[in-house]
Structure 1
Amino acid sequence: MTPNERDLLKKYISFSLGTWFRALISFFTTPITTWMINPEEFGKATMFSTVYSILLLVALLGTPNSFLRFFPQKSEEEKPVLLWSSVMPPVLLSILLSLVVFIFRSSINTFLVGTPDSKAHVILIATLITGIFQTFNLNLVRSKGRAILFSAIQVIQSLSQMGFIVLYALLVSRDFYTLLYAQLFSNVVALAVGMLFERSYWFPVKIDKKLVFEVIKYGYPFVFSGLLLWLLNWIDRFVLRLYTSFSDIGLYSAAFKIVSAMSLLTTGFSTLWYPFAYEQYEKNPEDKMIFKRALDYMAFLVFSAGFLLLSFKDVIFLLLARSYRPAAAISPFLILNPVMITMAIVVARGIDFSKKTYWFIVSDGAAALFNLAGNFLLVPTLGAKGAAVSTGLSFIIVFAIESSVSKKLYPVPYDLKKVYCLVSLFVFSAVLHTFSQNLLLPVLSSVFGVFVTIFAYKSEFLKVVSIGVEFLKTTFHRK
């Protein structure tokens, strides 16, 4: 390994500890939740999350991007001012959005949970405001490079959410309120921890009006690409709400929850890769091989994990309550989300380096339109399976556009033929796992996919095994 690669691996492990623990916690939380809450109530909670995500995106107004961009440029005395100057616009906008939610509470509650007489709108407002502060809470810790604290906050948030779900379900009620209150409670706990450790940045409150306008000016364009990305990620839930029941939405969301454990791998990698890639480019833009090697390693990891998840999906879903087990057949195409997005995170940096970021709007927009059309076409006949097929295929479009454009803007010798061969094999296996009534053939196809991935990335496989053996030897020797 080169020094750069070792440094990248070390940082990745530090920043990903929380992500891995969250994945482990999520793996246990989802089955526990399904045993306590039926699919219909789970579906209602999913619609709440869908609306919450779009309100949070709009309220943030792209200011977290501004904060991350300006933070390294500010002195220690100026950074607390930057923090509050970035937080204040979303807080003020969230108050306006809260008024709208309150005025239309009956319609919003009916859409969210199927009845106008609900407290869902109140919880939505509270979760929105705490969600804004929690977003900056994590970004502050991330910007300061405090990897262990960053991971600790993530773990604490997941543990507090799981603990609240269990206690509320056992002591109060087993309905959608369990999950809604759990989200709000975990936001508050994680925010309190972050503020405690970084209280010198949060208190006293200092705002620079001129800086506020700079933050808004830089950040607001990200709202448009963010809306397209939101449409890509959440339109399936809206179409399911139009054509199916809350129960079907609950099954679909349970499938997504299982897959989300793998998506956390993507989150952990992106947390590290963006600043590392920018730094690498600024230091030596002609050293492109590290980008090629990064894609090779990540392609090996995500395809291996994806095919393994396909192979064992039926076993994994046995952990869920019986009423949720049909979700196993919904999950295969959803795995394409973390697989394709992780690789896109690597290859798309040429778009950033050339400052032609409008290509992200093109890629997200094209995929969102495809997903919208696909959902309206497939959901009425195939239900949740149709939504999964459309959503999964749309992420291939994101990768295809961003990799093609990025390679032209910043030529890196990526081996994309190898990637697309494995994508084709994965889609074939996902079709079998989704629609085949034969129990053996789908598993054989995904196991075959694991071996093909190892053969295609033989050197990366041997290197990963070597690192693993070396790590175990070092650990054993210390003991």
Structure 2
Amino acid sequence: MNINERNLLKKYISFSLGTWFKALISFFITPITTWLINPEEFGKAAMFSTAYSIILLVSILGTPSALLRFFPQKSEEEKTILLWSSLITPIILSALISIVVFIFKSSINAFLVGTSVSNAHVILIATLITGIFQTFNMNLVRTKGRGILFSAIDITQSISQIGFILLYALLVKRDFYALLYAQLFSNILALGIGMYFERDYWFPIKIDKKLVFEVVQYGYPLVFSGLFWWILNWIDRVVLRLYVDFSEIGLYSAAFKIISAMNLLTSGFSTLWYPFAYEQYEKNPENKIIFKRTLDYVAFLTFSAGFVLLSFKDVIFLLLAKTYRPAAAISPFLILNPVMITMAIVVARGIDFSKKTYWFIVSNSTAAIFNLIGNFLLIPIFGAKGAAVSTGLSFIIVFAIESSVSKKLYPVPYNLRKVYYLVIIFIFSASFHTFSQNLFLSILSSLVGLLATVFLYKSEFSKVFSVSVDLIKGIIHKI
């Protein structure tokens, strides 16, 4: 392992400590919630999250990505103007969306929570506005490379969310409003912390029309990719709403919430990787081996985590209330989400470097159409399990398209054969865990997958183990 690889691995492990802590906190939010709120109410909160995610996506218009892309290129004076120049368009769009929500509030409430008489639409608008600011808040901290602050905000938001859920459920009522208000108020708290530490960028408010146009021009094509990404990630809950009741949607969402703890590791990696990848490309575009080696390490870590999660899923779901434990059989294929997307984050950078981002539209739309068809075919037969199978397989399509296109645009000698070997093993193992009643065979299949991962990436296993031991020894020594 050369010095650059070792430093990157150490940086990733140390940078992700806060994210891992947040993942641990978030992992326990769902069990706590299931003991307080029944599956039907949980399902209503899931539908609220579905609506929130799409209107947030439309409102931000790809501008946070523009902030990340342009920030390193701008002078220090321009950087102080870039934030609000990126933010002004989402603010205007959110105001227009809010008017539409108020006009159709009865229909929106009925679809989201099953009754037209509800305050859900008001909370939706408030959460949208705070969510826009919070998105830029985190991207600003991220692009400045302030990993400790980034993790601190994440952790604070997670802890406060637990606190708000407990307070509302125990003191007011155990319904879906506990989850809705928790999201809103944790957004506000996290935003306040970030704005305080980066106040030089937030205040005074400065806007440059030329920058606004530049940001929108870069960001708006990403909305189309984002819309297909939303379909890929959220259409399962919409189709479930057509065929099943809120209780089964609640079970499906609980399974997704447990898996989302692993998604946080993906987020932690992307936080480090995007700025690093852009920097490496700007410095020396011919240094491609770092991308190849990064995929090897990421593939080893994500598949290992995935197979371990498969093996212990039934134990993990024992933490949930008894009414939610059937969600364990729903979760296996959902693990493909963080596994495939984390690897795609590495291999797809050639699309960015060549500025041919329309390929993200191609990959996301193809996977979204596959997922939409799969959901309509499988949900009537298998219910939430069918939604999980369709959604999980869709992320393989995303990886396959983006990796093959990226290799052509920016040739890197990725060893994709190893990845696809493990994908095949994972599909077989997830099928056992989803549909088989034989617990022994299910666990055996995932353990075989774990051993195959270590065998195929034995060099990476040895190096990760060595660096982890050194890092732990260093922490113990400092303590």
Same-fold status (TM-score > 0.5): yes
Structure 2 counterpart of 1:154: 154
Q: Which moved more, 1:415-424 or 1:212-221?
A: 212-221
SS of alignment partner, residue 285 of structure 1: coil
Structure 2 counterpart of 1:221: 221
SS of alignment partner, residue 234 of structure 2: helix
SS of alignment partner, residue 265 of structure 1: helix
| Conserved 8 A contact 1:61-1:223 | yes
Structure 2 counterpart of 1:420: 420
CA distance in 2, matches of 1:225, 1:26: 28
Residue deviations 1:39-84 (CA, integer Å, cap 9, x gap):
0000000000000000000000111122222222333333232111
Runs ≥4 in structure 1, deviation > 6 angstroms?
none
Residue 350 of structure 1: how far off its partner (Å): 1.7
Structure 1 counterpart of 2:404: 404
| Conserved 8 A contact 2:143-2:275 | no
CA distance in 2, matches of 1:429, 1:36: 32
Residues 64-463 of structure 1 aligned to structure 2 (within 5 Å): 64-463=64-463
CA distance in 2, matches of 1:7, 1:215: 33
Which residue type is aligned with residue 108 of structure 1?
Answer: I
Structure 1: gaps (5+ residues): none
Which residue type is aligned with residue 46 of structure 2?
Answer: T
CA distance in 2, matches of 1:430, 1:303: 13
Q: Which moved more, 1:14-23 or 1:101-110?
A: 14-23
Residue 291 of structure 1: how far off its partner (Å): 1.3
| Conserved 8 A contact 1:109-1:117 | yes
Residue deviations 1:97-132 (CA, integer Å, cap 9, x gap):
000000000000000000000000000000000001
CA distance in 1, matches of 2:386, 2:90: 36
Residues 44-83 of structure 1 aligned to structure 2 (within 5 Å): 44-83=44-83
Q: Which moved more, 1:345-354 or 1:254-263?
A: 345-354
Q: Which moved more, 1:287-296 or 1:245-254?
A: 287-296
CA distance in 2, matches of 1:342, 1:150: 19
Structure 1 counterpart of 2:30: 30
Residue 10 of structure 1: how far off its partner (Å): 4.1
| Conserved 8 A contact 1:300-1:453 | yes
| Conserved 8 A contact 1:347-1:406 | yes
Residue 335 of structure 1: how far off its partner (Å): 0.2
Which residue type is aligned with residue 87 of structure 2?
Answer: V
Residue deviations 1:258-304 (CA, integer Å, cap 9, x gap):
10111111111111111211221222222222111111111111111
CA distance in 2, matches of 1:470, 1:65: 35
Residue 336 of structure 1: how far off its partner (Å): 0.4
Which residue type is aligned with residue 255 of structure 1?
Answer: A
Cα RMSD of the aligned pairs, angstroms, is: 1.3
- TM-score, normalising length: structure 1: 0.98
Pair 1:466–1:7, CA change in 2 (3 A): closer
CA distance in 1, matches of 2:159, 2:324: 23
Pair 1:11–1:339, CA change in 2 (3 A): same
CA distance in 1, matches of 2:144, 2:412: 31
Residue deviations 1:402-440 (CA, integer Å, cap 9, x gap):
111112222222111111111101000000000001121
| Conserved 8 A contact 1:317-1:325 | yes
| Conserved 8 A contact 1:61-1:220 | yes
- TM-score, normalising length: structure 2: 0.98
Residue 87 of structure 1: how far off its partner (Å): 1.0
Q: Which moved more, 1:292-301 or 1:410-419?
A: 410-419
Which residue type is aligned with residue 407 of structure 2?
Answer: K
SS of alignment partner, residue 312 of structure 2: helix
Q: Which moved more, 1:412-421 or 1:35-44?
A: 412-421
| Conserved 8 A contact 1:14-1:147 | no
CA distance in 2, matches of 1:123, 1:136: 20
CA distance in 1, matches of 2:76, 2:290: 33
CA distance in 2, matches of 1:311, 1:148: 32
CA distance in 2, matches of 1:282, 1:203: 31
Which residue type is aligned with residue 187 of structure 2?
Answer: N
Residue 477 of structure 1: how far off its partner (Å): 4.2
Which residue type is aligned with residue 72 of structure 2?
Answer: P
Which residue type is aligned with residue 39 of structure 1?
Answer: P
Residue 16 of structure 1: how far off its partner (Å): 2.3
Q: Which moved more, 1:69-78 or 1:446-455?
A: 69-78
CA distance in 1, matches of 2:253, 2:149: 30
| Conserved 8 A contact 1:57-1:223 | yes
Residue 11 of structure 1: how far off its partner (Å): 3.6
CA distance in 1, matches of 2:119, 2:7: 49
| Conserved 8 A contact 2:10-2:467 | no
Pair 1:458–1:147, CA change in 2 (3 A): same
Residue 14 of structure 1: how far off its partner (Å): 4.8
Which residue type is aligned with residue 183 of structure 2?
Answer: Q
Q: Which moved more, 1:138-147 or 1:74-83?
A: 74-83
Residue 251 of structure 1: how far off its partner (Å): 0.3
| Conserved 8 A contact 2:367-2:394 | yes
CA distance in 2, matches of 1:356, 1:216: 17
Aligned residues: 479
Structure 2: gaps (5+ residues): none
| Conserved 8 A contact 1:15-1:271 | no
